Structure formats: structure tokens, C-alpha cells
Amino acid sequence: MANTQNIDNPVIGIDLLKMLMLQLYSNPRCIFREYIQNALDSINEAVKIGILPRVKDGRVSISITKNDIYIEDNGTGIRRDKAVKILTDIANSVKNGIDTAGQFGVGRLSGGGYCEVLEFETTYQGEDISTIVSLDTRILRQLIDKKQTDISAEEAMTKICTTQEKSALKEDHRFIVRLKNVINSREILLDIDEIKNYITEYAPIDYSVPFNSLINSCEQTDFVKRHKSIDKIRVSLNDLSDIEKGYGLKIAGTGDQIEKIRYFELPQHPKYGPLGWGWYAVTEFSVQINEEKDSCAGIRLRKHNISLDKNILNTCFKESRGNKYFYGEIFITNDNIVPDSGRQGLAAGEEADALIKEIKRYFAETLRPVYYKANKMKTALNKAGEVIGKLNNPEFANAVGPLTDKLKEHIEEFKKATTPDSKEEINDVISIYTNKYNSGLKADVEKYLVPKQSPKETEPDILDMVAKPTVNNPTEPVAAGKPQNPHTPETEPQTTLPTSNPAPQPKTKSSDTQKPVSTPSPTQSNPNRPKSQVDEILSPLEGKNISPEQTAILKRVFSTMLVVCPSSNKKNVILLMEAAVNSL
């Protein structure tokens, strides 16, 4: 049998304090999240025992001065007979991360790495004494610098801690954290705007009034009730009272209007039960949201309404950039899924694995197709808009035909992309882009793709004939295999988008059939039409042994070349045309 040895008073070394007080978080802003998180737990307890009527009556007041930071909440505080032990114990907390936002009871020490003295003051309702515990981190740093590794964490705490009491009002209930003389990361921790932006991202606070109106207008009423019941406390910073989350009516990083809120629930796991639910803002999804301009970019993962690292869900998309098309949040509802100690991710566990798996599935099957569909419709409309811009530009007067064909092609692509889908999430963006088309490009598209009748007496210009589809004269026989359109303008059904088919022609009177229709010859032209760039290029051929028909063909060819060539190559193409004309 192997020999055994007794375990005799193992020592927790001073390096534990070094880690918890001086090295716990790489991001100094995290200390605000920790102290707000602890405040939320205390406020929830105050509601539970009747000190506060509602969670939203909970308040956290942050004050940043030239050198110091004060954070005060109106939760329960700590009883006088327990205050010193609770505030000096290390990782000896009743918090579990399930029914409390805090988990280990060590986050309160994190502020010590940034100041010379970390101080706690607490008052419990009904007691007329406040308890103050001060931790002098200067002494801790000296002990560490001297490499006194033989000192235990407990011994070090007795060396750096002092306590005192002072009188208080019996109706008071509060907890105050003071970071005295901030010495590290001052440019971040003492920057009011910097900290305010951090609070809007991570704290369990309310939304703005306009965004709440979006929530209330959502037809998914069960989710609306759930959303409104999420824990929210009031946080102020110096003169800024009741800070709100940064969501508004527009995506700040793109300018896209938020049309509605779409809610979703992750499937309930057969073994672990509910996992989470969330929302995202329905927009045009025109481009990725610029994180530097908009701190709300991406779908955030939250537990107890406190955000985990903002990039944690990027890897749940096939392309991490996919998350930057969205505003949104996912709220974890499974008790056994908790953040890791730094809230950079989730603590390892089967439930956490199941949650991430379902989020990846939802992103792949629903959200990725949403912004892909939006991109297809956006691209088609943008291309159609570019063509219309050229059609409206006299410089492209000789390229009307090819441009019209291009316009038809882009509109057909758009029509195909707007076919209704089985997923309501995709139909949301189809509706947005259909409305955008109807209120924007539709009139110009119909101007070019739905030809209008000209008076019979007017001789159309040759370029107009090239630009528009040929329409059969009603008096001429119809070619075999080409049935006449039975609709008249009065009976033609209205369509949402124009088609490539020419509009039906009005019926002619018998007297019209007796009038010959004047057909322009290739040599006819409009003398009032200003010369286009192609006309200028072809001008050396005037009076030469070149027929009007040949000139018209050259016009079409040159105009098409100008349309399809990249702008950067336009100058070279023009030189090529001029050389060709000179050779003739």
C-alpha cells in the first residue's frame, strides 16, 4: 500500500491577491461593470425584502472627480455585524451566478489595481452605524515588490486593511465604493465620455423613449411583455442622470432607419430546457455597421441584462463580419449558463455548448440569408439607379438602346429577389426594398421600360426608335406565332414592377388605318438635338463616302462601348474611336 501524508494547513499565497486586485481584468473599464453588477444584486435583494418597491427604483450614482471615483447604490447594504468579514474575505461569497449577477465575490477587489486606496462604506436600514473598510494597495505593492512570497493572502489582507465606523441615519441603506487617487489607466477611468459609452453598452439599464416605442409597437406581444420585464436599474454619471442604452430609431453607424423589432426564441433543448431568446432591428442592412462610429454594432449576449464581451457572438456567424450588420441582444434564460470570471465568454459546460450551437444555427439559417437577400436587392437597385442616371444624361443619348436593355436586366434581378419567402424574417427586408423601389426608382423605370404612344403625325427621331422596343402598327398583319395582346389600356392589370413586355397599344379608329405612317429613314435626324460625344467623334465623316445607315451603326457601336467600358478606361476608348474614324 502506498504511503499517505497528512495535509497540514495549505497556504494561499500573496500572488492570489496580486491576481485579484492588480491583474484581474485587462480592460480597466470592467471595474464599472463589476460594481454595477454587485449593485444590481443588492437592489434585487432590497426588492425581495421590501426595502425597494421595484427593481427600476434601484439607483447607482457614479461620480468621477479629478483623481477619485465614487460608486454608490441604494441596495440593502451589509449588516454591521457582517460587514468587515464579508468585505475582507476572499472568494467566500454566497453568490452563484444563477440567481445573482455576481458569482465569486472577488470582483469588488478589482478596483484596487487602479488606485492607491480602495475603500468600501456600507449602511444597513435600521442601523445607525456605517462600516468603512479601506484597502491600502500601496502596502500590497510593496509586499509584492519585496517578493515576500512566504506571506499568505490572509496575512496580506490583515496588513493592508483598516476599518472604522461612523454614525448614520437609520433609514439609510447604501453601499459606496471609493477609488482614491487613481494612478493607473487615468486617461480611461477618469474620462467621463469614455465611461458613459461603456455604461450604455454593458449596464442593465433601460432603453431610450423612442426605442421603447418601437418595442411597444411590435406585434409579437408575448415577447414585448418579456422584454419590458427585464431587470433595469437607473445609473447616473456626474451630471448625466438615467443613462440609457445606445439604441435609437436609426443605426448610428450606417444611417439606416429601424423599421421594426423582430423577436426570436432559441429552440428549447430536450435535456437542458430553455436556452435564450432575443431581438434584432429590421433595417435595409445596407452595409456593415462601423464599430468606431457605433458602439451598439452587433448582437450582444447578456445574462441578468449585463452584457458579456461585445465580440463573443462574432464567431457564431460563418463570416464574423456578418454580426456587424445587426443591432440586437440575446438574453440567456438557462440558469446553468453563466459567464466566465472575466465575462469574456461563457464558463465551460454542456448547457453553454448547447446555447452556442443553437445561436450558430439561427444565425446560419435565418440571419445570414436576411442580409444576403438585402444585399441582392440593394445591388440590383443600385445598378438600376446608375443606368437611369446615364439615361438621364445627354452624354449617353446615343446609347439609349443598350442602356434600356441593362435596365431591364437589373429590374428583372430585383423582381426575382423580391419573390416572397417562407421565412418572415426575409419577407421583412423584401417589404422594405419593395417600398423603397416604389417610392424611388419606379417612376423612372416605367419612364424607360413602359413606352408611351407618340402622336401619329410626329416623326420619331432615329435614336428614339433604337432606344424603345418596336411596337407593331395595329393596321399591319401580325407575324405568325406572335399573338396580339388582348388588353386595352383600360383593362390592362396593374403590376407592382414593370416587365420587359411593351405596353399594349390603344385601339385605332378606321380612319387611322387610311393614313400612311411616316417611317423615318436612317438619314433623318433631329436638327435641334445637341451633339453628343459620339456625334463629335463621328463628325469628320460628314460629307464623306459613308452612308447614313453605316453612320447609325457606328453610333450604336461607339455608344455601347462608352456604356460598358469602365470610367477609368473611357479616355483610352475615345482615343481608339477617334483613330478608327480617322482610318475611314
Q: Are 243 and 236 a contacting pair, CB within 8 Å?
A: yes
Separation of alpha carbons 27 and 374, rounded Å:
36
How many other C-beta atoms can be found within 10 angstroms of the C-beta atom of residue 7? 6
Contact 367, 280 (CB under 8 A): yes
According to the model, what pLDDT value does residue 548 have?
79
d(CA 470, CA 451): 10
Give the model's confidence band at 130: pLDDT under 50 very low, under 70 low, under 90 confident, else very high: very high
Report pLDDT for 416. Answer: 95
Closest CA to 163 of 115, 121, 125, 129: 121
Decide which of 212 and 507 is more confident. Answer: 212
Residue 416 cell numbers, joined: 426575382
**Amino acid identity for residue 332 in this structure:** I
**Residue 153 reports pLDDT greater than 60:** yes
Q: What is the pLDDT of residue 452?
A: 61
- The per-residue pLDDT for range 507-520, each reduced to its tens digit, is 444 444 444 444 34
Cα-Cα-Cα-Cα dihedral sign, residues 94, 151, 107, 83: positive
Question: Which H or E run includes 535?
Answer: helix 533-538
pLDDT class for 463, splitting at 50, 70, 90?
Answer: very low
Q: Would you say residue 464 has pLDDT above 80?
A: no
Q: Percent of the chain having pLDDT more than 90? A: 58
Position 451 scores a pLDDT of 65
User: Which amino acid, residue 532?
Assistant: S
Mean pLDDT for 498-508 is 43
Backbone angles phi, psi at 538, to 5 degrees: -85, -5
- The domain locations on the chain are 12-205, 530-584
Task: Give mean pLDDT, residues 423-428.
Answer: 96
Task: With a cut of 50, say whether residue 459 has pLDDT above it.
Answer: no
The rounded percent of the chain whose pLDDT value lies above 70 is: 77
Residue 424 burial class via C-beta count within 10 angstroms: exposed 0-12, middle 13-18, buried 19 and up: exposed
pLDDT band at 84 (very low <50, low <70, confident <90, very high): very high
Reply yes or no on whether the pLDDT at 470 is more than 50: no
For 443-457, give the DSSP string.
Answer: HHHHHHHS--PPPTT
| Among the listed residues 355, 65, 62, the one whose alpha carbon sits nearest the alpha carbon of residue 205 | 62
Amino acid 483: pLDDT: 41
In which residue are the cell numbers 418572415 written?
424
Helix (H, G, I), strand (E, B) or coil at 522: coil
Say what the pLDDT of residue 64 is: 98
State the cell numbers at 192: 467621463
pLDDT digits (tens, 9 = 90+) for 280-315: 999 999 999 998 889 999 999 999 999 999 889 999
Per the model's pLDDT, the better-predicted residue between 269 and 573 turns out to be 269
Kindly report the backbone phi and psi dihedral angles of residue 165, in degrees, each rounded to the nearest multiple of 5, phi listed first.
-130, 155
pLDDT at 537: 82
Question: Residue 500: what pLDDT?
Answer: 41
> What is the rounded average pLDDT of the residues 330-356?
92
Of 57-71, 276-290, 439-453, the least confident: 439-453
Task: Indicate the range of 10-14, 58-62, 238-242, 481-485 predicted with least confidence.
Answer: 481-485
410 confidence band (pLDDT: 50, 70, 90): very high
Residue 360 pLDDT > 90, yes or no?
yes
pLDDT at position 494: 41
For residue 436, name the pLDDT band (cuts at 50, 70, 90). very high
Give the residues across from 167 on adjacent strands: 129
Q: Burial-class residue 282 by CB neighbours within 10 Å (0-12, 13-18, 19+).
A: buried
pLDDT score for 342: 74
Q: What mean pLDDT is predicted for residues 93-97?
A: 44
Q: Is the pTM of this model over 0.85?
A: no
Whether the predicted pLDDT of 550 surpasses 90: no
- Give the pLDDT confidence score for residue 502 in this predicted structure: 43
**pLDDT tens for each residue of 8-53:** 555 556 666 666 666 566 689 999 999 999 999 999 999 999 999 9
CA–CA distance from 499 to each of 131, 411, 430, 525 (Å)?
A: 79, 8, 18, 30
For residue 147, pLDDT beyond 50: yes
Q: Which pairs count as long-range contacts for 90-99, CB under 8 Å and 24+ apart, including other chains?
A: 90/12, 90/16, 90/17, 90/20, 90/153, 90/154, 90/157, 95/41, 97/303, 97/338, 97/339, 97/347, 98/335, 98/336, 98/338, 99/335
234-237 and 59-64 strand pairing: parallel
Phi, psi of 181 (to 5 degrees): 55, 75
Relative to beta strand 161-167, strand 59-64 is unpaired
Question: What average pLDDT does the structure give for the chain?
Answer: 82
Distance CA 568, CA 570 (A): 6
Q: Which of 308-312, 319-323, 342-346, 490-494 is the least confident region?
A: 490-494
Q: CATH second-level architecture of 12-205? A: 2-Layer Sandwich (3.30)
